Structure 1
Amino acid sequence: MANANANGHNLASLIPQFGGDNYDYWSNNIKVLLKALKLWNIVEAGYEETHNEVALTQAQMNTLRENRKKYSMALFHIYQTIEMQVYERVVKAENAKQTWDMIENAYRGKEKVKKVRLQSLRKEFEKLEMKEDETIKDYFIRVTFIVNQMASNGKILEMQELLRKFFVAYPQNSIMLWLPSKSQMIFQLFLWKRCKENLRHMRSKLI
C-alpha cells in the first residue's frame, strides 16, 4: 500500500493544476487516479463516521481505521491537483466527499454554461457572411467580436480559421489591396499571437 501511495503521489504531479477552467478534464483525470488507488468509491459514497469506538468490534474498528486512512489519502491527492483559489473554496470541507461535492457544484455548472455558449458562438461564427454593402473593415470588426467572445469562454481560434472567413468573403488579392502592405499582415499575425498569449495568461488567473 505504501508503494501504491507513493506512486499515486508521483502520478498526481502529472495532472494539470485545476484553477477553475476545464473542470471536466481535471475531474476525469483525478477520478482515474483515485480509482487506480482504490480510493474513488469512498470519495463518491463516503462512509459512516462514529465517535463511540468503545462499542465497536475489532473488525469494525479495523474497517473504520482503514476508511479514515483512505479518506485522508483521497483528500491529499485532490489537494495536490488544485490551485490556491480553488483550495480556498473548499478549505472548510470536513472530508474528501464534501470537498469533491463542493468543487463539482462550484465548477461543473460553470463548465456546462461555457460549453453551451461556445456551441452558440461557433454556429454564429460559421454562419457569418459578408453583406453586400459591407466593407472589409466592418466585416472584420464583426468577425473579431465573435472571436473575442469565444476566447473569453475558453476557445481561441487559430489564425487560419479567422483568415478563411475573409478569403471566402473576398478574393485574396482584394484583401491584400485593403491592407497597406504585406508588412501590415505580418504585424497583424504578430498581434494575434500576442493576443492568444495574453488570453491564455488571463484565463490561468480566473477562477
Structure 2
Amino acid sequence: MGDIINTSDAIKDTSHLTFQCPILTATNYPIWSLRIKAIFKAHGIWESIEPGTDVDQKKDNAAIAYLYQSLPEDLILQVAGCTHAKEIWDAIKTRHLGVERVMEARLQTLKAEFEAARMKDSEKIDDFAAKLSGIASKSAALGTVIEETTLVRKILTAIPEKFLNMAATIEQLVDLKTVKFHEVVGRLKAYEERTSLKTTNNSHDQLLLSYEG
C-alpha cells in the first residue's frame, strides 16, 4: 500500500474538489509536510500553523482534525496532549528533524551532481536527457522541484561542441522561459540524427571511392 490514502470523510474545498490525505511515515516527512501545507492553505487554515497565534478556534480544531487523519495511530497517542495544531506540528517537526537533515544532505548531493553533469562526445542526447530527468525526479521526490527553465538551460550549456550551433539556433527561435524540456530534447535529437546520417553517408562515399580507386 502507498503512503497516501483517501480519508473516510473526503476533504473538500468550496469548489467540491476532493483531496487525498497523506499519511506520515518514518521516511516521508519532507513530502508529507509540503502536502499538508498545501491542503491547509486550500482550506484557509494554514494560519493555525503559521503564525499559529490568535487563531480562530474553529480553524484550529479543523487543522487538528486533518492532522489526526494524516498521522499513524501510535503518533496520535503521543501528541494527544497537545491542545493546538501548531503544538502538534512542531512536535512532529522535532521528531523528524533527523530525517529532514538526511533529505537535505541528499538534495545537496543531487544539486552537485546536476551542476557537474556534462554530456560526453560518445553519449546520446536521449541518454543525457534521461540522466538530467532522473536527477530532477529524485530532487522532486525529496521536496525540491528543478524548474523546467533550469533543465532547458542546463542541457543547452552541457552538450558537446558539435551541438553548439544547434543550441544557438534554439536560443534564437524559442523563448527559453516557456519552452518545454522535452521540446528542446526533441530538436537536439533530430539534429543528432541528421548529422549522424550525414556522417554515415560520407563514410560510405569514401569507401566507394577507395574501392573504385
Q: Give TM-score scaled by structure 1 length.
A: 0.47
Higher relative contact order (CA 8 A, sep 6+): 1
Larger % of helix: which?
1
Q: Give TM-score scaled by structure 2 length.
A: 0.46
